[in-house]
Structures are given as C-alpha cells and as structure tokens.
A and B are shown apart, each in its own frame.
Chain A
Amino acid sequence: MEGNATIPVKRAIFRAMNRLKAALEDFGSMIFFALEALAWAFRPPFRLGLILSQMAFIGVGSVFIVGVTGTFSGMVLALQGNYAMKQFAAEGYVGGSVALALARELAPVLTALMVTGRAGSAIATELGTMRVTEQIDAMDSMAVNPIQYLVVPRVIASILMFPALTMLFNVLGYMGAYVMGVYVAKIPVGPFIEHTRTFLVPADVVHGLWKAVLFGAVVSVITCWRGYSASGGSRGVGEGTTRAVVSSSIGILVVDYALTLFSVGS
C-alpha cells in the first residue's frame, strides 16, 4: 500500500528533475550559443549592411512605442509623485525624483520590455520559421554560418539600439513629467528643474545606459536562441516566440535586479 502511494510522487519528482535538467541544458546551450555569437562577431566578413538593417528594424521601428511609453510613464510619475510629495509640501522634488527614477530604472527596463514585445518576438518568429523550413540548414550546407549571418547582426544591433532608445525614453519621459508637473500640477518650474539637477548626476544616466546595453544583449540572445532552436513546425515556432518573450522579460528583470544590487548595494 505504502509502495503504491509513493509511485506518483516518485514520478512527479522524476518529471521535475527531467524538466530542471532540460531547462539547465537549454540554458547551457544558450550560453554556448551566446559565446559562439560573440566569437563570430569578431570574425570577418563583417556584414555592416545586415547590422544596419537590423538597427533600423529594432531601433527605428521601436521609436513610436518607446516614445509613447516614455511620455506617458513620465506623466504618470509626475502626477503620482506630486500626489505623494504634496503631503510634505515637497512638490518641488517631483522633477528630481522622476528624473532619477527614469534614468536609473524605468527607462532601461520599460524600453527593454517594449522592444522585446515588438522586435524580440519578431526575431524569434523569423528565425524559428527559417529553422523549421530548413533555411538555416541550407545556409550551413552553403558554407554560410547562420549564427554569423543571422544572429550576430541582431545582437549587435540590439546592443547599439537599446541605449539609444533608452535615452529617447529618458528625454520624452522627463518632458512628459515636466508638462504634467509644471502645467497641470502647477509645480514651480524653478524647484522642478533645480532639484532635477541636484538629484541627478551623469553617473545615473550612464548607469541606466549600461543597463540598456546588457538588456539588449540579453534580449537579443534569448530571442535569437528561441528562434534558432525552434522545432516542431509552426506550433514550435509559436511556442518558441512565446517562450522568447517570457524568458526575455524575466531575464530583463533578473539582470536589472542584479545590476541594481551591484550598483547600490543591499
């Protein structure tokens, strides 16, 4: 009786172990994939046209969504900040706190999440479709390294474009905060700007941009890997895309936490 009862538990443990093993194996493969991409990035031929094309797709194509998100994030932060600070008669600090929050945290994270949703999913789908339709295998057979041809331009473009988009997010977010803070919440413009200058130092902006660089690398590697390793026809492509977006989002938040921990300390 006791032996029969333990069988499902054992099976569940084995299943969990197998899943963990598969996940770790997948993670390890992704690491090797990333290292391979890194290695191929420094070997000719350097396909600048492809890189430019991906920069346009990932960067320029995401300007609208990043701009809208940034503007509204800044506006909301200003209003909420004003609501909170007003209780201490410290509305003048809204500008500084919004700028600081945007520069160090919100701009890189929200930009990365938005670009993951727009461009990351597209990358995973495109590469997954190429994989299941054996286009990637065909490249191999034609002595064209698919990682160098397909992955490296996307990774480089992401690493370059994420900081640019983050900076755009910063600017538009602060402008949105300025409009709402100064013109709607009637915060005096002097303290609004002066406290921004007091609170924020260039290192804060640089900190956010470094985060964006890492987020770009993480997102591009994860989404490329999910597409590159897709299998099982169109359904596999869809699953790969979903996993790419979910994994990238989790990866962004985990990396963000780690970077903040290293930067600020516990």
Chain B
Amino acid sequence: MPQLNKALLVGALVAVAGSAFLVAFTFFKKGGYSEKESYVVHAFFTDATGLTWKSRVQIAGIQVGEVDKITLEGQRARLDLRVKNGIDLKADACLTKVFPSALLPDALLEVSLGAEGSPSLASLPREQREVKCVREGASTQKLIASMSKIAADVQVVTAELTRMVGDQRGSMREIIENIANLTRRLDETVSANSGKLSRLLSNAEAISADVRDLTGSEKERIREIVRNTEAVSRELRQVLASAQAVMDGGSGGAGVTAPDTGAGTVAGVGGGTGSQPGPSGGAGPAGAPTGGDARGVKQAVERANDSLARLDTLLAKLQEGDSVAGKLLSDKRLGNKVGEAIETYANYADSVNRMQVEVRLRSEWLLNQTAAKTYFGIRLVPRPDKYYIFEVVSDPRGVDTVTTNTTTTHDPTQPPPDTTTVATTSTHEQKLTYSLQMAKRYGPVAFRVGVIESSGGVGSDLHLFDDRLQVSVSVYQFSRPFQGVFPRAKVWVNWSFLQHFHVTAGSDDFLNQWRSGRYPGGPKFSLGADVFFGGGIFFTDDDLKTLIGMGAASMVTPAVK
C-alpha cells in the first residue's frame, strides 16, 4: 500500500468515525438539564416504584424535566427533579406518577404547574423547593386492595340475596311459590278438560284439511272464477261508465229544454235506444255516439282481417323463397354470406374509424447543395404499433439511373458466335421520386422497410418524450451509378412543437464525401455528405380517412359478390 494511499485511507476512516461520533453526540444530547439550564425541586413519595434516574417529568406529554436523584429519607423516597428554567413550577404544583404502559414497569411524572398567583419554586431556597402535592398512580397493590374491598361488598350483596331467597317470609320466595301454584292449577284444568280440548283440536284439523283439499284440487277453477269475476267487474265498470256518459249526455240535452225533474234522464235513456224519442231534442245527440262506436269497431275488425290476410300471403311467399327476403330467410348459405359480409363491413368500418391518417409536408434546406428537398405524403396508422408511409419526394440531386443495353448482332454471312454489344447508359433526371414504407413499432423504436425515394431501403425511428422527439435513420439506394460509393444513408432529428409543426436537422448521405461536378456534356451532379435543417407541418385528416374508407370499401364489395 503506497504511503499516500495509507494516509488517505486512515484519514477517511478517522473522518467517518469522527463524523459519526459528532452526529451521535448531537443527536443523543439531551439539552436543557444542565446546572445552568435547569433548577432542582424535590418531592416525597411513599412508593417510588417505576421511577429511576432520568425518568421523564412531563407536562401534557412533553418532557420538561427528569429525575436527577432518588434517595431514601426515613420511610419515604425523596426525588430530586431537574426542571427546565423556562418551566415555572409554583408552590402548589402537583406531581402525578403515571404508568404509561400497563405491561411495562416504567413510570413517569406528570406535573401540573400550579396556580398563577402562587410563589415560584425556583425563587425559593433550594431546600424549600418541595412539591407537596404528590399523587401516586394506581399501583398493582392498590388495585388489589380496591378489588378486595369490592369483593367484600359483593359478598355482602350475595349473602343478602341468599337470605332473601332462602327466607320463608322473603318476597322472592313468595313470588316463586305463586308461580308454582299457578302452573299447578293450569295443569289441573288441562287434565280435567282434556277430552273437550282433543275434540276441538280434531275439528279444527278437519276443517283445515277440507280447506286444503278444496284449494288444492280446485285451484285452477278458483283462479278461473277469480279471473272471470275480475273481467265481469271490469266490464261492469265500463258499462256503468258508458251508462253514466249516456246519462250525462241526456241530462245535458234535457237541461236546456226540460225541467229539472228527472225527465231528462228518461229521455236520455230513450234516445240511447232509439225506440222511444223523448219530448225534447236532447234524445238525438245522446244516441249518436253509440252508433258511431259500433261502426268504428266494425271497420277496425275489417281492417284487421284484411291485414292478416295480407300477412298470410306475405308469409306464404317468404316460405316459398320467391322474393329476396324469402331467399335470405330460406337459403342458409346466402344468409351466412350476408352475415359474414356485414361482419366484414363492421370490422372494416371499425378499423377505418380507428385508423389515423396523417398528412405530412416537410422541407429541408441542404447546405452544400444550397437547395431544398421537399417531401409530401401521408402516414397511415391503423394501430399504435404499425404505420405505413406514402411520400412523394422532390430531391434537388435528381435521380441517377443506370441502363444497360445488351445487343446481340447475328450476321448470317459470319459463322457463330454472334457479336454482343453491351452499352451502359447513366441517366440523370430531375423528377419526383416516391417512398412506400411499412413500419413496425416496438416500444419507442420503430423499424421501417420498403421503397425509399424510388429505391429499396430500410430505416429506423426512435421516438422519445411522448413522441415529440424523433431520431431517424434511413439507408437506401444500395446500388448507385457511381463507382466506389456507399449507399445513401441519412440521419435526422425531428422535434415536434405546437401540435402540428416540427423542425428537423440532420445529415444526408453521410457515408460518402461531398463532391459535385458535371457529367461530360451533361447536367450537374452532386454526391456525398450534406447537412440540412428545415421544418414541416403535419395534421390528421378525417376527410382523407373517409376517402380511403370509400376506396377500400369499393374494393371489398366485389369480394362479397
């Protein structure tokens, strides 16, 4: 162990131990009970059990002092108590010994300060600072003594009770004897009339059996009778109501012309039957509603019959399977197909409803290229862990393609082999490219594969901070027309803000060195690492979702057919 390390380690150990000691010293120091910070009072107890050196002295559960010393003076225990200077004990203060736990033998002293006008103990000479009011908590011995007294009292009570019950002249005994006489007489009465009682009970039993038989065997009839009675009473109620209405109508008509002697009532009734017109014009209006009701009922019955006849015809047709509905009901296969189609539509509608369609427009300014690259597309998110990207890209670098033409020339005048000419043409075009990618997401990481800018490619996205930050990398254009060139790799970061906007920065084609030039006699080209920054906008579009839904629905429909 080198000298420095030894010193360092020893120093560290001593520092740790010293710090621990200081913390312990501070933590466990009970301030307030030194000579300066406290004053001493004393009290005498006949029993100091449970109190020891350092026992708590408290007011309302808060420690204000401690027992300093316990000594024996004669038959009593003298307790010297240290009380904090701030606690002003008066001459009439009281100390109560309390056992906070019924199981533990430790006691403490609860102190009450004393009356305000009394002199302070602290101001008295030390030997006169006695707390004279001392109350001792209930010790076990005291409890036992109290229990002994209670037991003696209980014994007296039980003896008196015994005497009351046992004594010939005692009221308890008399009551018991009366009850015994009463029960004896009741028993005698029952014995003397046992025959009559038996017959009474037999009759009652027979009656109840008859009633049971009746209600059991004729139960249905009784119910029918009850139902009929209900129906009769209902009809009766209706008849009475009609009669009341007729009578009301008759009396209304009579009220105009006939005197109020009951003639109106007779006329009303006569008008109702139509056989005996009354002397007044009240009979006509009173009889009219009854005829109308009858006609209405007849028409209703006719209409019902007509409807039932039509329904009968319809059911017959359905059963024969003549119509479309009949086919649906009678052809099980067709029914199943229709069911599946409906289910497919429902699932599809559900998925379309859940799918998010995100329209995205992004533009990047390439620093070396000094031109902007723009993307426009949509992102379909059918599930949170899957999405599809369709994009149209305008790249200022253009699209480089290599075309190889192989020409085989056959000259009949020459013997084989034929002449083969291979011509490779590199083309640079300024045209739009497209991307079509499928992405699968696992937690914060998504992997993409598909066509990127009209070339096969793969990519990955890392979504962070609730998808507000996206770190992406794409590799594509694995076969490029230039010699010794790596595939095109792009890495960028998107930071979304204000819900629909994002800023972007990254590096394009960073695997290759930047270079630019011009094809011999052709257009300019550029290649290699470039740094870009830019921004974009994206939003979810429900209208587009509807359009996609309609398009897809038109594709599904033929499948059902």
Contact = CB atoms under 8 A, between A and B. Distances in A.
Interface stretch (A51-59, A137-145, A226-234, A235-243): A51-59
Given A49-B3, A52-B7, A60-B6, A202 B13 contact: no
A89 B103 CA distance: 8
Contacts of A120: none
Interface residues of B, number: 23
A52 B11 CA distance: 10
B162 interface: no
Binding site secondary structure of chain A: helix
Interface in A120-167: 160-161, 163-167
A53 B6 contact: yes
A171 B20 contact: yes
B42 to A, nearest CB: 23
B21 interface: yes
Nearest to B63: A198
A170 B20 contact: yes
B9 A202 contact: no
Contact of A205 (B6, B7, B14, B21): B21
Interface in B400-458: none
Nearest to A168: B17
A22 interface: no
Nearest to A204: B28
A255 interface: no
B104 A202 contact: no
B10 interface: yes
Nearest to B3: A49
Interface residues of A, number: 30
Interface in B1-36: 1, 3, 6-7, 9-10, 12-14, 16-18, 20-21, 24-25, 27-30
A60 B13 contact: yes
Contacts of B30: 201
A49 to B, nearest CB: 7
Given A60-B13, A165-B17, A197 B104 contact: no
Binding site secondary structure of chain B: helix
Contact of A63 (B7, B13, B28): B13
B101 interface: yes
Interface in B337-369: none
Contact of B16 (A160, A168, A201, A209): A168
Contacts of B103: 88-90
Given A168-B16, A168-B17, A202 B25 contact: yes
Contact of B27 (A89, A90, A197): A197
Interface in B74-108: 101, 103-104
A200 interface: yes
Given A56-B1, A90-B101, A205 B25 contact: yes
A103 B10 CA distance: 22
Interface string A91-117: 000000000000100000000000000
A202 B29 CA distance: 6
B1 A164 contact: no
A225 B153 CA distance: 78
A164 B17 contact: yes
B108 to A, nearest CB: 11
Contacts of B24: 103, 167, 170, 200, 202, 205
- Pairs A-B, 5 closest by C-beta atoms: A164-B17, A56-B6, A167-B17, A60-B9, A88-B103
14 contacts: A52-B6, A52-B10, A56-B7, A60-B9, A60-B10, A89-B103, A164-B13, A164-B17, A167-B16, A167-B17, A167-B24, A168-B16, A196-B28, A200-B28
Interface of B: 1, 3, 6-7, 9-10, 12-14, 16-18, 20-21, 24-25, 27-30, 101, 103-104
